[in-house]
Each structure stands twice: as structure tokens, then as C-alpha cells.
Copies of this chain bind each other. A is one copy, B any other.
Amino acid sequence: MTDYFKVSPDARGYVAQRYSQELPFPTRRDVQSIEEGDLLMPCFGEDGLVPCITQDADTGEVLMLGYMNRQALSFTITSGYAHYWSRSRRQLWAKGERSGQSQQVEQILIDDDQDCVLVKVRLTGGASCHVGYRSCFFRELEVSNRSTSFRLRFLEDEKVYDPAQAYGTAKSE
């Protein structure tokens, strides 16, 4: 058991007892089976991680790119809430465990070579980004006539929540 279980289950919005152990993901086989078969054989890279794109199930908006280890993907499946591996904190990260901005999973997809996961989620707090915006992709690059001055234009007018209040000064999940 990790520190993570010491967090109040209520605060995370689900019941911790639902968790099972890490799931026994099938071993990867030949390319044909991976790319065109009907069995999940996720590729956890040399660092033990698979990237995960998180998309709003209702609007199709891309919310973030996270990374999952075997435990995070297992818990995402068995809890119904998105879990990631925090590369900065080097620990399992139940999304929303501190901010309250958790993600209820509607659908889990895998790409052709099974080295990227896509989860479609519903936001329980209306936002996903740790800076306070709805999506982490709240800025677009200004491109004019195929050139750019590297300026970014904000796509969201205001923050959904105050990260200072949610996280304190640390401002990270």
C-alpha cells in the first residue's frame, strides 16, 4: 500500500475498496495481433510508462496528456477514475486527489501499436488543468502566412478554479 491510500476516499470521489491489485496485462505478441487483434497488449516503455491522452467525453475537447504505469492503468480500469504516474513527484497520482478535479472514465481506447491510451472522461469539478483552466491546452500558437513570432493566444478567458486555493503554494497535483 502506498501513501496514496491514506488520502480520504471521499476526497477522491470513489471508494478505495474497489481497488484490486495490479492487473495481469497480456504479454505483447506479434505485430499482427497487436495492431489488428482484439486483445489488449499495452506497451509500457523502458520507463514503465504508456502515454495517455485524456479527452472530454461530452465535448471531445482534449484535456491533457498524462502517463500511466501498470498500476495507474489497472486502477483506472478498476476504480472508474483516471489515475496517472506523476513523473515529477514519482508516484501514483489519482487525478483530483488534491485539487478535487477528478476524472470519471467513460471509455478507454488503445491505438494501433498499443503504445498510447486514450481515456474519455467526465470532469467532476469542471476543470482538468493544474493551472486552473478547463483544458491544459488553453493556448494556441499564432501563425500568420506560415510564419510565427512564437506568440500564444489564450483560448480560455478565465480560470475555472483557483489553483492556489486547491493546492496551496506548491501548485502541482
Contacts and interface: CB of A to CB of B under 8 A. Distances in A.
Interface of A: 18, 20, 23, 25-26, 35-41, 51, 53, 55, 59-62, 64-65, 77-80, 107-112, 116, 118, 129-131, 133, 136-141, 143, 146-148, 150-155
Contacts of A37: 152
Q: Which 10 A/B pairs are nearest by Cβ-Cβ distance? A: A60-B60, A111-B136, A40-B150, A109-B137, A108-B141, A65-B116, A38-B152, A112-B136, A112-B131, A109-B140
Contact of A150 (B39, B64, B78): B39
Contacts of A40: 141, 148, 150-152
Given A62-B62, A152-B38, A141 B25 contact: no
5 contacts: A40-B141, A53-B65, A77-B146, A108-B140, A109-B155
B77 A51 contact: no
A142 to B, nearest CB: 9
Contacts of A80: 146
B23 A148 contact: yes
